[in-house]
Amino acid sequence: MRALRLLSTAAQAEGLLLRRQGAQLGRAAVLGAGAAGFGIAMLILLHMAGWLWLADRYDAVQACLLVALADGILAVILLLMARGGRDHVAEEARELRQQSVALLTQPSVIRPDWQRLAFTVGGFLLERALRRRR
């Protein structure tokens, strides 16, 4: 029974981990696409207004270089904002999954031969499936 609970806990932790990672990836993609769309529209207008304003004060080449510098600064700011943070719940779920699998495959648990064989094969298949996802 203990082995089944450990296997169930490992499966639940894996499910939670996959849901959290999927939600984080989806959220980052949607926010990144929205930021890119608004950023492009803003940069087009800023380019036109900035270049016209700078062209009155400097020549055309210097105005283009100053607009390009502003573009570079904005690109760095957007890239820094797009980075994801640490997800503590996902990290705890990963640790719980690893502990459950380690306890499941521990040889100190006394089981009948058929049960030991079944859990050894199940643990092997679970570890193999987890390695493929990485």
Asked if 102 and 6 count as a contact pair (C-beta separation under 8 A), the reply is no
Q: Which domain holds residue 122?
A: 2-133
Q: How many domains does the chain have?
A: 1
Q: How many Cα atoms are found within 13 Å in the side-chain-facing hemisphere of 109? A: 18
How far apart CA 103 and CA 44 sit, in angstroms, is: 58
Please give the average per-residue pLDDT across 3-17, as a whole number: 83
How far apart CA 73 and CA 109 sit, in angstroms, is: 59
* pLDDT tens per residue across span 35-71: 999 988 987 887 888 889 999 999 889 988 988 898 8
pLDDT level of residue 4 (50, 70, 90 thresholds): confident
pLDDT surpassing 70 at residue 109: no
Closest alpha carbon to 51 in 69, 31, 33: 69
Asked if 13 and 96 count as a contact pair (C-beta separation under 8 A), the reply is yes
